[in-house]
Amino acid sequence: MPESTESFIKAEAASHTWERRSPRPEDDNVLAHTDNWLHALPVGIRPIHLQQEFPRIANDLARLWAETPALDLYFEEKEFSPREDRNGFPPLIKEELLAMHVYSLRNRPARYEQQALVRAPHHGAILG
């Protein structure tokens, strides 16, 4: 697991509030893996404006997409940040973030325990 993802998960456990990090050169461009991730999202969920106006956030989402605890924390921070210096996102960006967040919540893989509960009745019928 990448170090930055681990830090998100640890921070969630400690109820940490995020502060803006220093800009990096790659923050101004959508990375190749981000572009691949964006094209894998279904039309209607795939953002159009986010990667143009906030490529850093698109890159962060692509990196965190498979790490559901970190992804949830990231979405929460972006959507409901209590930071006083945050101006908020333009309406189109808010809509795109919300659509991706809802999609991520509805389409994440079931945890192993949940999968076992769903499959259990079928196994019992076979065993008699």
Residue 42 confidence (pLDDT): 95
The residues, ordered by sequence, that sit 6+ positions from 97 with a Cβ below 8 Å of its Cβ are 47, 50, 75, 78, 79, 89
Cβ-count burial of 41 within 10 angstroms (0-12 exposed, 13-18 middle, 19+ buried)? middle
Rg of the chain over Cα atoms, rounded to whole angstroms, equals 18
pLDDT in tens, the chain (128 residues): 555 555 555 655 555 455 556 677 667 899 999 999 999 999 999 999 999 999 999 999 999 998 888 898 988 888 766 666 667 789 999 999 999 999 999 987 666 655 555 555 555 555 44
- CA–CA separation, 7 and 12 (whole Å): 8
What are the extents of the domains in the chain? 3-16+23-127
Residue 128 confidence (pLDDT): 47
Residue 10 confidence (pLDDT): 60
- CA–CA separation, 73 and 50 (whole Å): 18
